[in-house]
Amino acid sequence: MNKKELVEQIAEDAGLSRSKAEHALNAFIHHVQDALVRGETVQLIGFGSFVVGNRAARKGRNPQTGAEIDIPAMRVPQFKAGSKLKEMVNS
Q: What residues make up the domain containing 53?
A: 41-91
pTM equals: 0.81
Write down the pLDDT at residue 52: 97
On whether both 9 and 48 belong to a single domain, the answer is: no
* Helical spans, DSSP H, in the chain: 3-14, 18-37, 83-90
Residues of the chain scoring pLDDT < 50: none
Write down the pLDDT at residue 8: 97
> 3-state SS of the chain: helix, strand, coil percent to 5?
45, 30, 25
On whether both 12 and 33 belong to a single domain, the answer is: yes
Write down the pLDDT at residue 49: 97
- Condensed to tens digits (0 to 9), the pLDDT of residues 54-67 reads 999 999 999 999 99
Write down the pLDDT at residue 69: 95
On whether both 32 and 45 belong to a single domain, the answer is: no
On whether both 89 and 50 belong to a single domain, the answer is: yes
Split into its structural domains, the chain has a count of 2
On whether both 48 and 20 belong to a single domain, the answer is: no
